[in-house]
Structure 1
Amino acid sequence: MSKTGKTGFGPAISVIILAIALLWPSLINGEPFYMTDTPSYIRAADAGVYKLTGLESPWTNEFHDRYSASPKETASTAVGSQATLTDSKDDAPVALAGRSIFYGAFLYLAQIFGNFWLAAVLQSLVVGVAIMLTIRAFVPEENGVSSTKRTLAIGLPVVFLSSVAFFSGFLMPDIFAGLGLLSFVHLAAFWGRQGTAERLFWLVLLLAAMLFHNTNVLITISLLAVVLLGNVTKFLQIGWKPILAIVTSILLSFAGQSVFYWGVTKYSGNAPVMPPFLAARVISDGPGYQYLEKHCKTEDHKFCRVLDFPVINHDQLLWSKAKDEGFFQALPNRERREIAAAEKAFVLDVFLEYPIEVLAASFRGFGTQLVTFNLPNFNYNDKQKNQFQDKIPGVLFGSQKQSAAFKNTMPTRFWEISTFVVSGVALLFLLGFLYRNFRQPGRLGRTATFSLLIVIGIFANAAICGALSGAKGRYQMRLVWVLPLAAASLLPNRQWRKEVIQPAE
């Protein structure tokens, strides 16, 4: 099979049409979609720009509010006491890990025209390229069937019947979960038939996905473990060049996160803090609460305060600012750092005492995540609206109030159902295709390897998100669109039955 080469304007035309189609929810809404976390991404990047250059933007006001008295300033006014310096450092604002400054920088740069349309357009263009390359990987150009018409005949139904278009216009890194998964499987399955430009596209996209969100790193590492095991057992035959390239991307993502940690520590005096997601998870699921009921009578645990809460809910535990509901966001900065530092030991103690219960709860979360298909983030509730009013600069909030999502008129129900149906049908098709391949002797071919890794990636996402944060529609909907894309791309390939024993390159 020859490598991808120059094929005229057909691919570019396909990408442009797909990108325009992907903008349909944002066009109906009147602007791209926000989430309450969106301002946190932008403000983190804005704070970095302000510290480095002194340039201010409408987002800088919160930086001034939070850091109006830095640790050094506080210390200098307190008679030079070392104790005061330590206290002021501990009480300094908490910078959260997990909110990628790299994606924040992307949004920050995308608002150069005073709004976020550029972000939606760029994300849609990248998704359009990924869809086009996926379809063309299954329908080679030299067979005369990878025309613009064929690409659009497969790509447009995926755009209009799945969740992908919603997340292309979502001002969150969610769309990069599916793009990261596609990047990995393309590199692993089709490395030998790709040209340099295509390899570079997938490698950069994989790196971006991992820099933009930590769960994408976990999914990538999970898939890498499957590939290595498949190679060792000779079930798969994936060359060491793509494996080395993927490992390099993982290491670069670690390096990028290290630079972020170093920068925050240097300029704020404190390392970023990862919210105690696992502690909230085990408490909300039950085992952690049981552990506290048993041990708080005789031992002093940082999490014992939850026993006095009237309601135990994972999200409330983390993000509620009410002290009778939350054990993290509701606390002073010093205590938030202490809670985060105590998480690992607490979760380990809970697991050692209630291993079956913890595993059972994780499995329930995994199963629930697999079947959770909804789009609640695309019509804003009252709580979200109040948070937007507090966090979003006035000119942007004024525009947001005119959006369909703000008025709760954004149509989503049809696409919740259609995504469930097309994804379910696609999954069954891919599983049937894999079953036929597994019955054949020899190693899996390229197409079967691609399909296998796609399915495993979907399940890995559900396991990771369901266990760490609990089942939420957006965790599933952000990447499940790759299932119908893979299945629909596979259908026209008349040669797939002959590729069963053809090794992946």
Structure 2
Amino acid sequence: MLGKIGKTGFGPTITVVILALALLWPSLINGEPFYMPDTPSYIRAADAGVYKLTGMESPWTNEFHDRYAAAPKTAASADAVIETTPANTADNAPVALAGRSVFYGAFLYIAQIFGNFWLAAVLQSLVVGIAIMLTIRTCMPEQSRVSLTIRILAIGLPIVFLSSVAFFSGFLMPDIFAGLGLLSFVHLAAFWDRQGRMERLFWFVLLLSAMLFHNTNVLITVSLLALVVLGNLTKILQVGWKPVLVVMASILLSFAGQSVFYWGVTKYSGNAPVMPPFLAARVISDGPGYQYLEKHCKTEDLKFCRVLDFPVINHDQLLWSTSKDEGVFQALSNREKREIAALEKAFVLDVFLEYPIEVLVASFRGFGTQLVTFNLPNFNYNDKQKAQYQEKIPSELFSAQKQSAAFKNTMPTRFWEISTFIISGLALLFLLGFIFRNFRQSGHLSKTAIFSLLIVVGIFANAAICGALSGAKGRYQMRLVWVLPLAAASLLPNRQRRMEAAQPTE
């Protein structure tokens, strides 16, 4: 068996530095890290908290003043007067969105104190570099004739330059932490006995950060934890209970962190954060929800009935369009946003009870589509995004952004869309074959086979969750699919795996 590793720290620092520098290549070509229209929302949430607590302003604080000003601005029309008159009431107070992590926002807020977001890209790349190094090192045979440094670079650099990981390392969104969270879970679960305290602490903090940064990472972690608990009870996986307890502790801490956020927003704004009605928009866009409305709106006054008059039904448009002829959330007044969000659960449940097969088929279709969606559209900005950036980003940052390759639509992405699809598909086939051969030879799964199985299940869980909740998008797949070739390449030259498969699992 492989002995415990990690007692001497994180190993060869030079490999981490080289990998981190290599991971910055898309950002360097672009001229700066990459934005998404949601990026300003994360920063403004953190900036609002800092301003409320300390009174310290930043270039992002102007919008806080605009939204939370005590007196409404003079309206230019009668319609505007109607919209702005109740601005002082608690009912119509600005809506703080749940799902935009204030913790990741704080990370970006601290990074931009130096005038730009390069620090965020560098730190994310360093963390990814450490995760890649530890993964390769953990799978390395004790008696390997190849030096650790050479092996890490020989595996890590092709992953950096042939997969999507470098794009997301420089992305000003929490997306990269989906892959890092998945790696954290599988390392804790499969390789607990091989790790020293510092390595366990690294993966624990990284897993907790991933769950604090985005809710889908919590769902993926809970799904994998349920599989591990079932495997322990049936003795098929035999992971052990220590890592289970540690992962449970991280989940509870993430819930506590979200509770603090909800408490803070409620205390200072008078209203709890609002989760946009993602599921309601999903079932309407998929068809069952629309059928339900066609049937019941003739006799019932449902808040979602207005979608029957919309010329186009699209999930993102339903949520984020500011036109009342297209949207059922962002287009509404703040009071109506809270009302429709509160009605979402009952509506989705009613739709499912009436059209269960249709909802399940649509969810499965979204899952399948998500699995095969490999593209990087977020790294060249369209006209709508440019308009949003001009409105939301402070002028000094927007001036720099206009010089970026993504803003000019010259960022090369097609090669990496194709290469990521190819190497991820080959890696998936390798891992499935590795798991099958391992179980067939010994009747149980070794540590490396458990590692492989959890990676594969995590990829599928991500596709199921994102495909069902938000619809298939390339970014949901590309943000963590790089973990597949990393795992496969780390195991491929491991001559010890046959010996390990014949030995009993601890």
TM-score by length of 2: 0.95
The farther-off stretch of 6-15 and 358-367 is 6-15
Instruction: Check the 8 A contact 2:220/2:461 in 1, yes or no.
Output: yes
Instruction: Check the 8 A contact 1:237/1:503 in 2, yes or no.
Output: no
Instruction: Check the 8 A contact 2:47/2:109 in 1, yes or no.
Output: yes
Deviation per CA, 1:388-429: give whole Å up to 9, x if none: 000000000000000000000000000000000000000011
Match of 1:46 in 2: 47
Deviation, 1:2, is 2.6
Deviation, 1:441, is 3.8
Alignment partners' CA distance in 2, 1:293 and 1:5: 60
Alignment of 1:212-291 (within 5 A): 212-291=213-292
Match of 2:202 in 1: 201
Instruction: Check the 8 A contact 2:71/2:88 in 1, yes or no.
Output: no
Match of 1:21 in 2: 22
Alignment partners' CA distance in 1, 2:215 and 2:504: 32
Alignment partners' CA distance in 2, 1:161 and 1:439: 32
Alignment partners' CA distance in 2, 1:86 and 1:390: 21
Alignment partners' CA distance in 2, 1:46 and 1:87: 21
Deviation, 1:87, is 8.0
Alignment partners' CA distance in 1, 2:111 and 2:322: 31
Match of 2:423 in 1: 422
Match of 2:90 in 1: 89
Alignment of 1:464-475 (within 5 A): 464-475=465-476
Match of 1:408 in 2: 409
Deviation, 1:8, is 8.9
Q: Secondary structure at the match of 2:44?
A: helix
Deviation per CA, 1:14-64: give whole Å up to 9, x if none: 000000000000000000000000000000000000000000000000000
Q: Secondary structure at the match of 1:439?
A: helix
Which residue type is aligned with residue 280 of structure 1?
Answer: A
Instruction: Check the 8 A contact 2:103/2:213 in 1, yes or no.
Output: yes
Deviation per CA, 1:405-456: give whole Å up to 9, x if none: 0000000000000000000000011111111123234421100000000000
Instruction: Check the 8 A contact 2:141/2:495 in 1, yes or no.
Output: no
Alignment partners' CA distance in 2, 1:8 and 1:86: 55
Paired residues in the alignment total: 493
Alignment partners' CA distance in 1, 2:63 and 2:145: 57
Match of 1:74 in 2: none
Alignment partners' CA distance in 1, 2:505 and 2:409: 48
TM-score by length of 1: 0.95
Instruction: Check the 8 A contact 2:121/2:172 in 1, yes or no.
Output: yes
Which residue type is aligned with residue 368 of structure 2?
Answer: G
Alignment partners' CA distance in 1, 2:10 and 2:500: 30
Match of 1:461 in 2: 462
Match of 1:452 in 2: 453
Match of 2:165 in 1: 164
Alignment partners' CA distance in 2, 1:488 and 1:208: 26
Alignment partners' CA distance in 2, 1:128 and 1:140: 20
Cα distance 1:8–1:205, how it changes in 2: closer, same or farther (>3 A)?
A: closer
Which residue type is aligned with residue 232 of structure 2?
Answer: N
Instruction: Check the 8 A contact 2:6/2:199 in 1, yes or no.
Output: no
Match of 1:149 in 2: 150
Please state if 1:365 is matched with 2:366. Answer: yes
Deviation, 1:349, is 0.1
Deviation, 1:313, is 0.2
Deviation, 1:139, is 0.3
Which residue type is aligned with residue 186 of structure 1?
Answer: H
Match of 2:479 in 1: 478
Deviation, 1:85, is 9.8
Instruction: Check the 8 A contact 2:7/2:198 in 1, yes or no.
Output: no
The farther-off stretch of 400-409 and 61-70 is 61-70
Instruction: Check the 8 A contact 2:10/2:134 in 1, yes or no.
Output: no
Deviation, 1:3, is 2.1
Match of 2:128 in 1: 127
Alignment partners' CA distance in 1, 2:494 and 2:409: 42
Q: Secondary structure at the match of 1:440?
A: helix
Instruction: Check the 8 A contact 1:446/1:502 in 2, yes or no.
Output: no
Instruction: Check the 8 A contact 2:7/2:197 in 1, yes or no.
Output: no
Match of 2:77 in 1: none
Deviation, 1:239, is 1.3
Alignment partners' CA distance in 2, 1:490 and 1:2: 16
Cα distance 1:107–1:341, how it changes in 2: closer, same or farther (>3 A)?
A: same
Gaps of 5+ in 1: 72-83
Which residue type is aligned with residue 453 of structure 2?
Answer: L
Deviation, 1:249, is 0.2
Task: Work out the percentage of aligned pairs sharing the same amino acid.
Answer: 84
Which residue type is aligned with residue 498 of structure 1?
Answer: M
CA RMSD of aligned residues (A): 1.6
Deviation, 1:10, is 5.7
Alignment partners' CA distance in 2, 1:46 and 1:503: 53
Which residue type is aligned with residue 500 of structure 2?
Answer: E
Which residue type is aligned with residue 392 of structure 1?
Answer: I
Alignment partners' CA distance in 2, 1:238 and 1:70: 59
Alignment of 1:172-187 (within 5 A): 172-187=173-188
Match of 2:302 in 1: 301
Alignment partners' CA distance in 2, 1:491 and 1:60: 51
Cα distance 1:451–1:70, how it changes in 2: closer, same or farther (>3 A)?
A: farther
Deviation, 1:199, is 0.2
Which residue type is aligned with residue 264 of structure 2?
Answer: G
Alignment partners' CA distance in 2, 1:183 and 1:261: 26
Alignment partners' CA distance in 2, 1:51 and 1:459: 41
Deviation, 1:146, is 4.9
Alignment partners' CA distance in 2, 1:229 and 1:99: 32
Instruction: Check the 8 A contact 2:7/2:196 in 1, yes or no.
Output: no
Match of 1:81 in 2: none
Q: Secondary structure at the match of 1:225?
A: helix
Which residue type is aligned with residue 70 of structure 2?
Answer: A
Instruction: Check the 8 A contact 2:70/2:88 in 1, yes or no.
Output: no
Which residue type is aligned with residue 188 of structure 1?
Answer: A
Cα distance 1:8–1:185, how it changes in 2: closer, same or farther (>3 A)?
A: closer
Instruction: Check the 8 A contact 2:187/2:451 in 1, yes or no.
Output: yes
Instruction: Check the 8 A contact 1:139/1:145 in 2, yes or no.
Output: no
Deviation, 1:112, is 2.1
Please state if 1:315 is matched with 2:316. Answer: yes
Deviation, 1:140, is 4.2
Alignment partners' CA distance in 1, 2:474 and 2:53: 38
